[in-house]
A and B are shown apart, each in its own frame.
Chain A
């Protein structure tokens, strides 16, 4: 009697743990699958537009003149200019040399994933990064002013890594 009760209980416990394990395992598999799918879509969608955390697409880009893009993009928390950014800025410098009467405002921007005050400083740092580079190509600092907007003026209102990458930018705007 006692023994059969013991077996019955053991059986129940074993059965229960099997059921529970099954549940746990299944859940885990689903989660992993979700993550994998997400990442794949991400790569497919943005792989062509983001390189090393820097936007390399052309959406939202305006042109100061034909072949002279108005903006450069940055990696998260960075103000370092990429090779592509330097090329863009050299084009801007050439255009500024050809148009000596033009003055510009260089606007610095950050994405929404940072505190407001730090982003204001970061935007200023990015705009100056562009300004300094233009100066090394002979553009007088008198013709350029910087204006940081921090995260206040995104171009893309999305909450995705792609949207954020478009917003981390420095834009050269004709001021006169």
Chain B
């Protein structure tokens, strides 16, 4: 996770032909015509090939990296990676100078080529993005890293391509922290787990001895805050995922829960429950100063900062039912923003700042939706028996959440899974996990 060891990102070449009207992908609405793109296998010499095979036990690393890119592009719903069987040009030659007619023939509009070099225990990967119809190079980069980071190279390439073609930052070189679940519904065993955004490199961070809930990434990425029932005392914890060191946040005489980081990563905002009343507090991680933000006899929970840190959205039942509120970060100017039919929970401010995602319960159905920060323009993206807790991709384009199934009359058939959906309401996808899963939280981009 340390930015140091993972990458020496060298900007090798960067041609951006701005004068020419090159291909663009419209991402403002559900994309019914994903852009056909050819991802050529990344070329490597015979020597590199056999060296890498020894080092990583992978037959053709260039091919594997290209598959990571293809899979990312497909999952985004905006691109249609073409089958490699149809490719006419060899990776080596394509990377030097593509024969655009060949790629146009198979209807590719964009082409990605690359080269893998292994030297002095370092993996060096070059890649180029080509506009097939215009016959131009759009992007060229090279990265150097340790070999075992090869999947991340695939993610970074996807981010560069995505950004060049959509005009928005990508979200592929990211990770998801979540709660892995096992066992019967009445005695679930829950562990913290972390994986790459595409489901690979899954790792468990706790053993399952105590109940753990609602992990959230710090915007600086090395820290996670979550709720643990260690010694039957439910408290907010801070965990360094590099070192594994954890500590309780603050010294509260009761349950603390629903933690999140402030956008600068310096504070934890959370609920503290005492005598049947939950209010919102913050703790500064440097000087350990605790501040009370709300003071109301109702339940105030699920706080989330705006990206500029000036506002907080939260969940309260002060009107009698669960609704969404916004206030200034000092707790002043509290304003209810949800006024539709039903109950509203888990508000999360978009990283772009303009929307709040939420869970809604109406007539026995659960919805994931978004509204503007003044509560107007409510849009429901997906309806289900049970789903909640959306978390934004760092570019504010995709939401990840979890869904639980209804059990049968004998209480069997329960499952919990992670799903994602685009802000447009299209491209709903199940995220594969080894075990049942809930409470996902999306990291920010590991590289910028």
Cβ of A47 under 8 Å from chain B: no
Cβ of A143 under 8 Å from chain B: no
Cβ of B184 under 8 Å from chain A: yes
At the interface with chain B, which of A20-28, A81-89, A107-115? Answer: A107-115
Query: What distance in Å separates the Cβ of B378 from its nearest Cβ neighbour in chain A?
Result: 17
Cβ of A163 under 8 Å from chain B: yes
Query: What distance in Å separates the Cβ of A41 from its nearest Cβ neighbour in chain B?
Result: 11
Query: What distance in Å separates the Cβ of A119 from its nearest Cβ neighbour in chain B?
Result: 9
Interfacial chain A residues near B361, Cβ < 8 Å: 113-114
The 0/1 profile, CB within 8 Å of A marked 1, for residues 215-244 of chain B is 000000000000100001010000000000
Contact indicator B234/A147 (Cβ below 8 Å): yes
The 0/1 profile, CB within 8 Å of A marked 1, for residues 162-206 of chain B is 000000000000000000000011111000000000000000000
Contact indicator B407/A157 (Cβ below 8 Å): yes
Q: Given A79-B276, A147-B234, A157-B185, A117 and B211 touching (CB < 8 A)?
A: no
Query: What distance in Å separates the Cβ of A16 from its nearest Cβ neighbour in chain B?
Result: 33
Cβ of A104 under 8 Å from chain B: no
Contact indicator B211/A152 (Cβ below 8 Å): yes
Contact indicator B389/A115 (Cβ below 8 Å): yes
Interfacial chain A residues near B76, Cβ < 8 Å: none
Cβ of A38 under 8 Å from chain B: no
Interfacial chain A residues near B391, Cβ < 8 Å: none
Contact indicator B301/A157 (Cβ below 8 Å): no
The 0/1 profile, CB within 8 Å of A marked 1, for residues 266-302 of chain B is 0000010101111000000000000000000001011
> CA separation between A147 and B254, bound complex, in Å?
9
Contact indicator B276/A120 (Cβ below 8 Å): no
Selected contact of B234 from candidates A77, A105, A148, CB within 8 Å? A148
Contact indicator B276/A129 (Cβ below 8 Å): yes
Cβ of B252 under 8 Å from chain A: no
Number of residues in A with C-beta < 8 Å to the partner? 33
Q: Given A116-B213, A147-B234, A157 and B411 touching (CB < 8 A)?
A: yes
Q: Which of A127, A147, A152, A153 has the most CB of B within 10 A?
A: A152
Cβ of B409 under 8 Å from chain A: yes
Q: Which chain B residues in 319-372 approach chain A with CB under 8 Å? A: 321-322, 343, 345-346, 359, 361, 364
Selected contact of A117 from candidates B232, B254, B345, CB within 8 Å? B345
The 0/1 profile, CB within 8 Å of A marked 1, for residues 139-176 of chain B is 00000000000000000000000000000000000000
A and B contact pairs by CB, cutoff 8 A, 21 listed: A77-B321, A112-B404, A115-B315, A115-B345, A115-B346, A116-B214, A117-B345, A117-B346, A118-B299, A120-B258, A120-B273, A121-B273, A121-B278, A124-B255, A125-B299, A127-B276, A154-B186, A157-B407, A158-B411, A159-B385, A159-B407
Known: A118-B317, A118-B345; 20 extra A-B contacts, CB below 8 A, are A79-B276, A115-B315, A115-B346, A117-B258, A117-B301, A118-B315, A118-B322, A120-B271, A120-B301, A121-B257, A121-B273, A122-B299, A124-B255, A125-B278, A129-B276, A132-B276, A148-B255, A152-B211, A152-B213, A158-B407
**Residues on A facing B (Cβ under 8 Å):** 77, 79, 105, 112-118, 120-122, 124-125, 127-129, 132, 146-149, 152-160, 163
**Residues on B facing A (Cβ under 8 Å):** 184-188, 211, 213-214, 227, 232, 234, 254-255, 257-258, 271, 273, 275-278, 299, 301-302, 315, 317, 321-322, 343, 345-346, 359, 361, 364, 385-386, 388-389, 404, 406-407, 409-412, 414, 439
